[in-house]
Structure 1
């Protein structure tokens, strides 16, 4: 039996469409039309839009409705600044508190990352990259940090461009991950934080 509230299901469907760019950044969302398209009343659609607005994916304008958030270069710089601080701290924490089992899981993921890079499998590389970062957050066991980072990364997904498509970015990203993992395996928290910040700085450059 599915006890998940309808508005959450609607939010997930709408989120997926936004990430797929079925609704382009800046496009207005007609609450009534969407409700009719989904075959639901306006109430769960309205609640779903509020959820996505809280995540930063939708921007609400008083008396004008809602539109898909547009991410400009200033937004990107500010988002990456915050991510750098938080994920740098996550890498540092992981280096200091990861168990041997955690380190083995990180190492295993990195090996898969190496293989995906060798195969030039961008989709697989991206998926494993996400898992690597998520595992670092899991090790920190800080749900507040995890929640903020998750929302920021959702906003980043509004971009059409995939920085890994750029010439040389895949190999550079792999090298940056090697540096992060090496510092964590050495239990060097400061070096792990520095490596993570450098990784995110390059991510910002590539996203421009």
Structure 2
């Protein structure tokens, strides 16, 4: 009986992950109606695991299920971004605060190594590499903080942020600003200054939101 229950569970989770990646890549753009029949045919599956996958994505805020109208990729507004980033600033600030007090010397060494990757990417103006190192730094702080509920909420909110059509690092000057913020944050962590780490992380997250707002304003001026 156990074997018969594992297969369908794995199937809808795999479908959810495939759809998740297509949404993040904007192959399925915000506001797009999700054609369940076409997707089921493309994946060679029945509608049942597809609908279960869509329920998972709906719980993450990535799609919106509308009665009698079907399923749509969620559109995230500027207000949504304002509200999500405010919560993210608090949560990631708490991660930085906790990590400043509990990080081992080895863990601080890992953070320094990741920061070195940030410096290297910034020098090369390699936005993709900088983004990857930035993500690694944040994930390491979250791991050090060792609060699985905090991590769970942060991961869900980051999925929502990925619905944005733009990336903050493409705002002029943001890469250099982000690097400076990381330098200050690392110094606070190495000094085990929990208050400063909390405040600096909050400022770092706010900086990302402000960069996205500048991109949106520039887009609206062109439009």
TM-score, normalised by the number of residues in structure 2: 0.90
Structure 1 runs of 4+ aligned residues shifted over 2 Å read: none
Q: Following the alignment from structure 2 to structure 1, what is the Cα–Cα distance between the partners of residues 131 and 11?
A: 30
Partner residue of 1:203?
A: 208
Q: CA deviation at 1:38?
A: 1.1
Q: CA deviation at 1:66?
A: 1.1
Partner residue of 2:24?
A: 19
Q: Following the alignment from structure 1 to structure 2, what is the Cα–Cα distance between the partners of residues 66 and 203?
A: 30
Can you give the 5+ residue segments of structure 1 that lack an aligned partner in the other structure?
none
> Is 1:49 matched with 2:46?
no
Task: Check the 8 A contact 2:171/2:212 in 1, yes or no.
Answer: no
The DSSP-based 3-state class of the residue aligned with 1:179 is: helix
Q: Following the alignment from structure 1 to structure 2, what is the Cα–Cα distance between the partners of residues 20 and 87?
A: 25
Partner residue of 1:186?
A: 191
The DSSP-based 3-state class of the residue aligned with 2:166 is: coil
* Equivalences, count: 207
Partner residue of 1:107?
A: 112
Q: CA deviation at 1:158?
A: 1.1
- Choose which of 60, 64, 74 in structure 1 pairs with 2:79: 74
- Choose which of 138, 143, 146 in structure 1 pairs with 2:143: 138
Q: Following the alignment from structure 2 to structure 1, what is the Cα–Cα distance between the partners of residues 171 and 212?
A: 9
Q: Deviations over 1:74-102 (max 9, x none)?
A: 00000001001100000000000001111
Q: CA deviation at 1:11?
A: 0.7
Q: Following the alignment from structure 2 to structure 1, what is the Cα–Cα distance between the partners of residues 89 and 193?
A: 17
Q: For the aligned residues, what is the CA RMSD?
A: 1.2
Q: CA deviation at 1:32?
A: 1.7
Q: Following the alignment from structure 1 to structure 2, what is the Cα–Cα distance between the partners of residues 33 and 101?
A: 50
Partner residue of 2:127?
A: 122
Partner residue of 1:159?
A: 164
TM-score, normalised by the number of residues in structure 1: 0.97
Q: Following the alignment from structure 2 to structure 1, what is the Cα–Cα distance between the partners of residues 173 and 210?
A: 13
Q: Deviations over 1:22-71 (max 9, x none)?
A: 11101111212211111110011001111111111111112221111111
Can you give the 5+ residue segments of structure 2 that lack an aligned partner in the other structure?
1-5, 214-223
